[in-house]
A and B are shown apart, each in its own frame.
Chain A
């Protein structure tokens, strides 16, 4: 998947490029508004990450110019989060808006959501290793045994399963499962994960629910058990 980063701050642009490239994106970087606009017009990207404060042409202008010709999805980055900035950005045709300092996995989640949007029909039956989840019946089985999950536990599992292999931050989880759209400064998500883990992974040798310390949680099958064990427990 092709992605364009328009960002003048060298460190930011570099770590974004490296991080996204590692996640399998093919990344182009533009250091100012004019070259960013040029690249965005000449090539077809799946999504564009656009900074607001840019030398030459600012992010809003780039977006306006781009929208005259193309509907490439755009995520805007800004250090300011005043409401009018947000409205301005979304009004100018941005698809999403991220305020600095943002976490990398937050950006990753938003990028994937944008690219996924309208692309595929979500399946109602999910299989991860020997874990089976039926979203319609709201039931989960592991190795053929029905798992006894509460409503919230099932919602949490479904979210992790739908985004399998993707690290989900606590903020994203709180927002998706509990509709809590702010940093709550509580360890609710940690506790919920701990309970869910006890139920789905407890008695089994192959662990599926993994903690990525400082970043969040991921549901995936890991062949390399040593690597999985090397991660500190939650």
Chain B
């Protein structure tokens, strides 16, 4: 049998409807059965009462022994007209008795006056309903106790067939509800089926395809909307990835062209060892460049997947910036620039990654700053409390020089994005991944990057969140 959670929704609903219907029918049936039973008992009681009153009246009227046969006649007529009725009379005198078989009378002796009792007789499957009354002595007649009993067999049969009808109707009704429920559910789920076949038609070859949220019930409309939103994001990510692939291919094409071309030219005819050494050396430089690109790309990809473990320690940021500044000291000196570090903050950082980000930022500033100017690094803390590493921090590198256009500012952290192609060859090898690495490192620390430019100053930096 199929497990419940694998059942189609329509069948589940049908089964649940059927269960609910069965429960309702059962409760109603039980209530009806109780009502009928109570009514029947009341009816039996009333009938017994009438008959008892009839017999009791005639017994009461009888004062003399010779008149007792009149009572017997009345009882005979009552019993013969309705075979299900039995009447007994008992007194101390054997002359004033009706009905043989003391045992049933004895058994029924317990039946209280005006209270209904039960009496089992040997010739019947069902108990008799019995009502008793004692008539006080009058004239010659001693006190007589009389019993009237009716057979409850027909009532029981009626109740039984009523119960059977209830069960049959209940089950049939539940089955009908299940069938109707299934049909209703199928009709109700039709929009879902349409949505599903819509979704099946989506193909990777056409990324701009979307589900049609119109004509859908509001609940499904929201699902379709959410799904379309996910498709939008996927399409954007896919497009970015494609652009990135193209960038990578383009970036690797230059060194590959150089490698192949130089090697082919060198092999065209016999060369001196020195010439070959030069070709190999040049090839090595190109290969180093490729290695740099591949390593940086791998770093970005792993950072994007959260695959880089942070080894965070709480340190004063200004000191870390100073260490990076020390590394770049010669470059600053050559460009005639000075480095100033303002502010103080302690933060939880991976020092190696932080230095990498700082190196990229400072190097970027050195390349774009006006010769002879000052580069300022501002270290800021959430609350400038020394020794407090819990509030996050930010580092901003400001340099003087040509401003960056606003349209470049937003994109300068993108991979392979260059604000100015011409600047590329001003320094050393540089493939446009430096600032995207800064961004990746900021993200790894739960922070973000920022950049602004104006009035001859450009500030680029990143924030670090408290861990």
Residues of A at the B interface (CB closer than 8 Å) are: 81-83, 101, 103, 152, 174, 178-188, 191-192, 195, 213-215, 230
Contacts and interface: CB of A to CB of B under 8 A. Distances in A.
Interface residues of B, number: 37
Interface string B87-111: 0000000000000000000000000
Nearest to A104: B284
A186 B363 CA distance: 7
Given A81-B298, A101-B294, A230-B274, A185 B326 contact: no
16 contacts: A83-B307, A103-B291, A152-B326, A178-B326, A178-B327, A179-B323, A181-B352, A182-B352, A182-B355, A182-B356, A185-B428, A188-B327, A188-B328, A188-B331, A213-B285, A230-B274
Chain A interface, DSSP helix/strand/loop, else mixed: loop
Interface in B252-299: 274, 281-282, 284-285, 288, 291-292, 294-296, 298
A186 B328 contact: yes
Nearest to B351: A179
Contacts, number: 69
A30 to B, nearest CB: 27
Contact of A83 (B288, B308, B356, B429): B308
Given A83-B307, A83-B308, A187 B291 contact: no
B355 A180 contact: yes
Nearest to B324: A180
Interface of B: 274, 281-282, 284-285, 288, 291-292, 294-296, 298, 302, 307-309, 323-324, 326-331, 334, 352, 355-356, 359-360, 363, 427-431, 434
A214 B281 contact: yes
A101 B291 contact: yes
The 4 closest A-B pairs by CB, nearest first: A214-B284, A191-B330, A178-B327, A213-B281
A214 B278 CA distance: 10
Given A81-B298, A180-B359, A185 B292 contact: yes
B430 A185 contact: yes
B363 A184 contact: yes
A23 B450 CA distance: 50
Nearest to B356: A182
A195 B331 CA distance: 12
A195 B326 contact: no
A174 B329 CA distance: 13
A185 B295 contact: no
Contacts of A195: 330
Nearest to B366: A186
A82 B307 contact: yes
Contact of B429 (A178, A180, A181, A185): A185
Contacts of A185: 292, 360, 363, 428-431, 434
Nearest to A190: B428
A174 B324 CA distance: 11
Nearest to B334: A191
Nearest to B433: A185
Nearest to A179: B323
